[in-house]
Amino acid sequence: MAISLGAPDENDDALVAAINTTPLVDIMLVLLIIFLITVPVVTHTVPVALPHEVNQPSKTRPQDITIAVDKAGDLYWNQARIGGNAVLLQRLKDSAAADPQPEVHIRADKDVRYEAVGRVVADCQRAGIAKVSFIVEPDRGTAFAAGGR
């Protein structure tokens, strides 16, 4: 079986130097149609008002109460050690009656048992304190840089 390639003198099948853009245009039109159909479907979401958070340093006022819980579970009222949860509850009830009501800031050691901090939060709730917050140190990335955790 032989193939006839033709004589080299014939210019019937000349080399075409132009790029055929028809397949490119077809693909682009298909993608355009797909995007026109899918974009409205993707953008329909449930309307929710998202909060805008601004990181502001806490402003301590003289009437605010700082309750510290050390590693052993001992309680401190503004740097003065107090007897226990019964004394704490009574002091919180006395402070809750003030107008304006003070905020309670809880500072707990990272190794303290959860039970001790939970009791402080429960005492604040029983006393009727409206604003309770936890004071923590921001993560500076030193634990990961030093190879911890």
Report pLDDT digits (tens) over 14-59: 677 788 888 999 999 999 999 888 887 766 666 666 666 556 666 6
Residue 72 in domain: yes
pLDDT, position 91: 92
Q: What distance in Å separates the CA atoms of residue 31 and residue 34, rounded to the nearest whole number?
A: 5
User: Could you list the residue range(s) of the whole structural domain that residue 101 is in?
Assistant: 65-134
Contact (CB, 8 A) for 128 and 104: no
User: What does the pLDDT read at residue 129?
Assistant: 92
**Per-residue confidence (pLDDT) for residue 59, from 0 to 100:** 67
Identify residue 56 by its one-letter amino acid code.
Answer: Q
The whole-number pLDDT of residue 135 equals 84
Q: How many domains does the chain have?
A: 1
Output 70 or 57, whichever has higher pLDDT.
Answer: 70
Task: Tell me the CATH number at 127.
Answer: 3.30.420.270
Task: Please give the average per-residue pLDDT across 90-113, as a whole number.
Answer: 90
What global pTM score does this model have?
0.55
How open is the CA angle 84-89-95, to the nearest 5 degrees? 125
